[in-house]
Amino acid sequence: MTKENNNYFIKGKKDNWEVVIGLEVHAQVLSNSKLFSGSSTKFGANPNTQVSLIDSAFPGMLPVINEECVKQAVRTGLGLNAKINNYSVFDRKNYFYADLPQGYQISQYKNPIVGEGKVLLDMPNGSKEVGIERLHLEQDAGKSIHDMDPSSTYVDLNRSGIALMEIVSKPDLRSPDEVNAYIKKLRSIMRYLGTCDGNMQEGSLRADVNVSVRKVGDKDFGTRCEIKNVNSIKFMQMAIEYEAKRQVELIESGEKIDQETRLFDTKKNETRSMRSKEDAHDYRYFPDPDLLPLNIDQKIIDDLKKSLPELPDQKKERFIKDYNLSAYEANVLVSEKEISNYYEEVAKQSDKKLAATWMMGDLFAMLNDKGLSISQSPISSSNLAELIQSIKSGEISGRIAKEVFEIMIETGDNPKKIIESKGMKQQSDPKELEKMINEILEQNKDKVDQYKSGKDKLFGFFVGQVMKVSGGKANPQLANDILKKLLKA
Amino acid sequence: MSNLSDKTLTELVGLIKSKQIKSEELTSEFITNGQKGKKLNAYITESFDIAKDKAKQFDIKPNFDCLLPGVPLAVKDLFCTNGVKTTAGSKMLENFIPNYESTVTTNLWNEGAFLLGKLNCDEYAMGSSNETSFYGNVINPLEDKVVPGGSSGGSAAAVCANLTPATIGTDTGGSIRQPASFTGTVGLKPTYGLCSRWGIVAFASSLDQAGPMTKTVSDCALMLEAMCGFDPKDSTSIDKKKENYSKNLNKNIKGLKIGIPKEYRVDGMPNEIETLWEEGKKILKNEGAEIIDISLPHTEYALPTYYIVAPAEASSNLARYDGVRYGFRSNKGNNLIEMYENTRSEGFGDEVKRRILIGTYVLSSGYYDAYYLKAQKVRQLIKKDFDDSFKKVDAILTPSAPSSAFKIGEKKDDPISMYLNDVFTVPVNLAGLPAMSIPAGLDKNKLPLGLQLIGKPLAEQTLLNIAFSMEEKINFKLNINKWWEK
């Protein structure tokens, strides 16, 4: 636990201030159709082409729950080590807005589908547990588009009614870094589960951030402000930093924090007041009479639990045990499901340690450089495995391997083919090597004499000559052995 | 054949099936009646041309293997009908033409019937006299200064005045049974969930239920059988096998236990109601049923409970009428909020606004527990009253309403006295039970009075059988002079 040794704080004029953060993450459920209608959920369709009579709230239309969305929420709850509630209720959250056709959002208020759970974060100074307060299912609203026309607002209802999971954390986070780790961990878990694609650009993962500050050592929480709908981790971190500093300044100058909802302005890098607590909506929640309470049979939950894939935490343990990786390596390699799959494919066909080294070194550097994800890598897992095999078998040296790797990036070719066609194969025939080394020693008799009279450092010179003559292809180990043997004679 | 429209639905179906009459003949008589009956203001929208066409099509290629072959039906204007304007009695939907058909009407059409037109009703079914309709009040065919009841007032008047062979209404707090009682017709509110709510303009979702309104109990059984059924599009629909109510209709009620609740008496209730109630008991006894006094102790709380729950749900259900996507939109206002405000101010009538305000109030933070939550608890107690009684009895007999049809305008400005007219019908909706109103006799002003039968969940057949047996003995005859045709 790092709650105690948290080292992120805001330096005020007088005191050091601890930042307390809680997150409400809205994760779009991966499902073919919406939470209460059969409309498609595909992203990027033309406006208002994926809208049913239910989504647009025509008279007499009724919602019918999409079972797959319920299962996705249960899976996610299980992935968060949370209590699944066999009984939950859908409520109406009433408010008027042009992109909310029903005039209410169907959500879950008093009885959410998922209760308390926890998420483990790997921080540089140890692991940290973050509590989950609840997870509930709700409908997404449509989209108001204000910038298409100077005087009108346009409404796109394609998103209206898509299922969201609202995942509410306890106020356990203490720094922008922890927020970063938390969001990434949530996203990783949901991607492993296949319950949310976690794509923040497309808005399938958004968050409201609750921030308050208190003097280091204080037990009581300060008054919090909620920052609405920040849709990138970077903005979230910037917003938290700005907001925490703002609060510290206010308190230290003797003022009070108003509990309010604030917006983050990404251009000015500041938060500003959206509405105060007094102006807060009265949502008039009440159970939706169009829907019966959701009763989930324990057997369904048990079956879903059994069919759950291996999750990052379990996979990490297994990687450490089975592949002899360090905690750090394992952590990096399980962070995304695709990365872990890639690693296992490479490791199984080559060498588990070298696979980790090559991936975390050259491969990630290249992907990072090119802005590619692992699934877009020009080097397939089997090709990387072959490259590593070639190093292990002595066919090529590590140095040559790097050259081959570069060519693989450009061409996507198989390493064997590259080695063959470019004649990059290592010279590993002892007779051939011995012949070549003898010639080198013949031509450098003076140096041989000096070496024999005690100038040990000259050994490096001979190695250099061997590499030069062989064009770098001499098997270094073998060349060393032969050199030593011949120089002794 | 003459005076076809005087006949019952069951008789008409028989005549069609035995090929003694054609659908076209039948349809044109109801259309003529409709045209002559304009003074009643029962129709909001007539779809006579479509009906004529459908009748012709039926006669060319008749299919007799269904419950309602070639039968034209006008329906309450709360059911969405594909291609035919659906207003819910409101200005808000004065231009709304759905491109979908409600499940209940679809079921009727699948049984061979077709649409004659859309019948007037209180705005969004909120009212007990049909006076809140944007399209004007309906007049009771029995007397020209009297309301037909509500909210299915147009439906009741249309059946009573032979404008349609039968019809369907919706009942949220008595909207089928009270107008049936006021017009001397038969009306049944089924068990909550027996008929799909899909495609019916919602008033209060946990209470709304569609049901038949007919001249006779047999007609009622036939209509119920045609309209009901499980619908996966309605999450509150009951998944059960369809019953053959008309085929299984019989008068044998020997041994049935009928409860008489002592709480169903109110101050100022006319003596005739008490008398007819007594006569009803006598008839049941003579038919071999056992009369048992029961108590439904929470009855007095039903009305206040109803007027919290129903407006609460309505305030949310009616939020969708915002002028954004369909229906009326005010052309006043400079921004979204003003557009909402003007649209809803101009589009809704007073009673609807009153209920939206009440509903919004009882759900507001700080009032929720005292009103909405408490009402939900009382609702459970009311339901429990019935559950307890149904351990002792098979059905309950009560008056349908505490009065006969009242004068137009009499209660219009006194919402409380208007609401009190629902006192005997709302407990049933709160408990989700089936109940029906059958004509029992006349009061001193020669206006009809109804008796209400309340049954166990899904005991519609029992109710219909008891009603069938009583109907014969009561032998009620409507005396209509067709004043509106003069």
Per-residue pLDDT tens for B204-222? 999 999 999 999 999 999 9
The answer as to whether B304 is a domain residue is no
Query: What rounded mean pLDDT belongs to chain A?
Result: 92
Number of H helices, E strands in chain A: 16, 16
* CB proximity list for B398: less than 8 A, separation 6 or greater: B260, B261, B264, B277, B424, B451, B452, B454
Are B468 and B249 in contact by the 8 Å Cβ rule? The answer is yes
For residue B201, give the nearest of B309, B85, B42, B364 by alpha carbon: B85
* CB proximity list for B428: less than 8 A, separation 6 or greater: B174, B189, B434, B435, B452, B454
Q: Does A280 touch chain B (CB under 8 A)?
A: no
Please tell me the predicted confidence (pLDDT) of residue B268: 83
Q: Look at the block and give the residue holding tokens 């300060």.
A: A222
Mutate to test the interface with A, among B86, B235, B364, B373 (most CBs of A within 10 A): B235
* CB proximity list for B313: less than 8 A, separation 6 or greater: A289, B202, B203, B204, B205, B206, B207, B359
Q: Does A98 touch chain B (CB under 8 A)?
A: yes
Please tell me the predicted confidence (pLDDT) of residue A393: 83
Q: Is B82 exposed, middle or buried (0-12, 13-18, 19+ CB in 10 A)?
A: middle
Please tell me the predicted confidence (pLDDT) of residue A2: 37
- Write down all domains in chain A, each with its CATH number in brackets: 10-304 (no CATH), 310-421 (no CATH), 430-488 (1.10.10.410)
Kindly report the CATH number assigned to the domain that includes residue B111: 3.90.1300.10
Q: Is the pLDDT of residue A152 over 90?
A: no
pTM to 2 decimal places: 0.91
For residue A195, give the nearest of A294, A105, A304 by alpha carbon: A304
Q: Which two tokens stand for residue B240?
A: 């059960």
The answer as to whether B313 is a domain residue is no
For residue B329, give the nearest of B308, B306, B346 by alpha carbon: B346
Q: Does A281 touch chain B (CB under 8 A)?
A: no
Query: What rounded mean pLDDT belongs to chain B?
Result: 97
> Which residues of B participate in catalysis according to the annotation?
76, 151, 175
Say which of B201, B325, B364 has its CB closest to residue A282: B364
Share of chain A above pLDDT 70, in %: 99
Please give the residue range of the domain that contains residue B150.
Answer: 4-259+391-485
Say which of B88, B235, B312 has its CB closest to residue A64: B235
Are A169 and A23 in contact by the 8 Å Cβ rule? The answer is yes
Please state the rounded mean pLDDT for residues A464-473.
Answer: 84
Number of domains in chain B: 1
Torsion, CA B310, CA B311, CA B316, CA B322, rounded to 10: 130
Nearest CA in chain B to A152: B335
Single-letter code of the amino acid located at A399: R
The answer as to whether B295 is a domain residue is no
Q: B324, A155: Cβ pair inside 8 Å?
A: yes
Q: B235, A155: Cβ pair inside 8 Å?
A: no
Q: Does A470 touch chain B (CB under 8 A)?
A: no
Q: Is the pLDDT of residue A4 over 50?
A: no
* pLDDT, greater one: A460 or A324: A324
pLDDT digits (tens, 9 = 90+) for B72-125: 999 999 999 999 999 999 999 999 999 999 999 999 999 999 999 999 999 999
Cα distances (Å, whole numbers) of residue A15 to A4, A172, B467: 17, 21, 83
Q: A94, B319: Cβ pair inside 8 Å?
A: yes
Nearest CA in chain B to A291: B235
**A286–chain B nearest CA distance, Å:** 7
Q: Look at the block and give the residue holding tokens 């008799």.
A: A445
Please provide the distance, in angstroms rounded to a whole number, between the alpha carbons at the two ends of chain B.
23
For residue B50, give the nearest of B16, B87, B75 by alpha carbon: B75
Mutate to test the interface with A, among B315, B316, B430 (most CBs of A within 10 A): B316
Please provide the distance, in angstroms rounded to a whole number, between the alpha carbons at the two ends of chain A.
63
pLDDT digits (tens, 9 = 90+) for B131-157: 999 999 999 999 999 999 999 999 999
Single-letter code of the amino acid located at B347: G
**Number of Cα atoms under 13 Å in the Cβ half of residue A339:** 23
DSSP B124-147: GG--SSS-S-TT-----TT-TTB-
Q: Is the pLDDT of residue A424 over 80?
A: no
pLDDT digits (tens, 9 = 90+) for A310-327: 999 999 999 999 999 999
Which chain B residues are Cβ-neighbours of A288 within 8 angstroms? 205
* Main-chain phi, psi angles of A206, to 5 degrees: -135, 165
pLDDT band at A1 (very low <50, low <70, confident <90, very high): very low
Are B151 and B127 in contact by the 8 Å Cβ rule? The answer is yes
**A67–chain B nearest CA distance, Å:** 13
**B446–chain A nearest CA distance, Å:** 39
List % helix, strand, coil for chain B (3-state, nearest 5).
40, 15, 45
Q: A289, B320: Cβ pair inside 8 Å?
A: no
* CB proximity list for B389: less than 8 A, separation 6 or greater: B259, B261, B294, B295, B296, B396
Paired residues of B150 in beta bridges: none
Q: Is the pLDDT of residue B317 over 60?
A: yes
Mutate to test the interface with B, among A290, A291, A295 (most CBs of B within 10 A): A290
- Helix (H, G, I), strand (E, B), or coil: what is residue B418? helix
For B401, other C-beta atoms within 10 Å of its C-beta total 29
Q: At what angle do helices A327-334 and A337-349 cross, to 10 degrees?
A: 120
Q: Alpha helices, DSSP H only, in A121-257?
A: 176-193, 233-252
Are A271 and A263 in contact by the 8 Å Cβ rule? The answer is yes
Q: Does A262 touch chain B (CB under 8 A)?
A: no
